[in-house]
């Protein structure tokens, strides 16, 4: 419940960093190196959080659905702002 509240309040990157600090064993079990989760938190934060949540027990069944949804959320955050930004940049003659 606390993790959900932090996600809503501060966003996935801060939650990922805090989770990494408070539960490093889970992150070490999930990833072999520090570079992959670091890049994951920078570029695909939702996918990284869901992967850390489901990967230590093995990925199967609904885990792939959760990962696919997380990838879609991350990609939509990059693609969604383009239309709004272009619309605001247009000025009337």
Measured between alpha carbons, how far is 37 from 20 in angstroms, rounded to an integer?
Answer: 9
Residue 36 has a pLDDT of 92
Among candidate residues 53, 52, 49, 47, the one with its CA nearest the CA of residue 68: 47
Measured between alpha carbons, how far is 43 from 58 in angstroms, rounded to an integer?
Answer: 23
Residue 8 has a pLDDT of 62
Q: How many helices (H) and strands (E) does the chain have?
A: 6, 0
What does each of the 93 residues of the chain score in pLDDT, given as a tens digit?
A: 676 676 666 788 888 998 999 999 999 999 989 999 999 999 999 999 999 999 887 888 888 999 999 999 888 887 765 555 555 555 555
Residue 72 has a pLDDT of 92
């Amino acid at each position: 419940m606390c993790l959900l509240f932090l996600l809503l309040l501060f966003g996935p990157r801060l939650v990922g960093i805090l989770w990494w600090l408070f539960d490093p064993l889970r992150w070490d079990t999930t990833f072999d190196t520090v570079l992959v989760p670091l890049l994951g938190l920078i570029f695909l934060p939702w996918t990284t959080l869901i992967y850390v949540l489901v990967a230590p027990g093995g990925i199967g069944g609904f885990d792939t659905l959760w990962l696919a949804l997380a990838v879609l959320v991350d990609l939509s955050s990059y693609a969604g702002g383009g239309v709004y930004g272009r619309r605001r940049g247009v000025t009337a003659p």
